[in-house]
Amino acid sequence: MSSPSVFITGAAAGIGRATALTFAGHGYRVGAYDVDFAGLATLRDEIAGRGGEVAIGELDVTDAAAWSAQLGEFAGTTGTLDILVNNAGVLSTGALQDVPLSAHRQMVDINFYGALAGLHAAFPYLRDTAHAQVVNMCSASALYGQPELATYSATKFALRALTEALELEWRRYDIRVLAMWPLFVKTAMTDGMETGSTKSLGVNLGPDDVANAVYAATHRGRGRLAKVHYPVGRQTRVLAMMGQVSPNWVQRLLTKYLARS
């Protein structure tokens, strides 16, 4: 029996890299893709050195043609894909008016459109695979709009809505769609990041924490009551629980307090 397969974007560093290593360590055939080919090359050497199986390739997630080409090559003759992990993302912080419009557009293009393009291109492979799954890397910033992270937060709100819609829409094809919800993670994305929220809450998660949560979420039983959202870390679990039971004005006050705005 062939190894199960996982296709991961933003895999050269951070959460994506940790996720690739985690799945490779559990016997998956890993497809690792990023715009940083040098980082992918070191990942390939690390996985191969541990006896794992990996394919790497450059992928700009905003390029639909590149998505089609890389998925077609990775799926090969089987035409199947067990898990797609939409992890690629970028972040710019600051007051909305102080962040260049080009940076806002880049977040929208990569964080949301990049995932959308991947889902569209991957659908035939997921549909033709028994019990296929999609993992969209959401964020605790999608619980309530975040000052100094406004556009990033908006892209994660959009990804949350897309996840929820497709979880219902794709059930008929036996495709499970879920979202991971980490708070701030110690990666290059948060290096030097200073916002009211990071000062209040800190940066307490590591890439391995998220990678292990992704693996655990994709290896739980499928009950009749679907679990769609997976908070990562104690802080996110508390915030998510409060978001479910608190009225909107309480969430606003909490966000205002944590963001020191």
b or e along 115-128 (b: 16 or more beta carbons within 10 Å of the residue's beta carbon)?
bbbbbebbbbbbbe
Contact 58, 43 (CB under 8 A): no
**173 three-class SS:** helix
Per-residue pLDDT of the chain in tens (261 residues, 90 and over written 9): 589 999 999 999 999 999 999 999 999 999 999 999 999 999 999 999 999 999 999 999 999 999 999 999 999 888 999 999 999 999 999 999 999 999 999 999 999 999 999 999 999 999 999 999 999 999 888 888 888 899 999 999 999 999 999 999 999 999 999 999 988 787 877 777 677 676 766 767 899 999 999 999 999 877 667 899 999 988 878 877 777 777 887 878 877 877 875
- Residues marked active site are found at 152
Per the structure, the count of domains in the chain is 1
Q: Give the residue numbers spanning the domain of 210.
A: 5-259
Q: Which of these, 149, 140, 237, lies nearest to 194 by C-alpha position?
A: 149
The enclosing domain of 219 has a CATH number of 3.40.50.720
Separation between Cα atoms, residue 109 and residue 101, nearest integer Å: 12
Q: Which two tokens stand for residue 215?
A: 């693996």
Q: pTM of the full predicted structure?
A: 0.91
Distance of CA 163 to the CA centre of its chain: 11
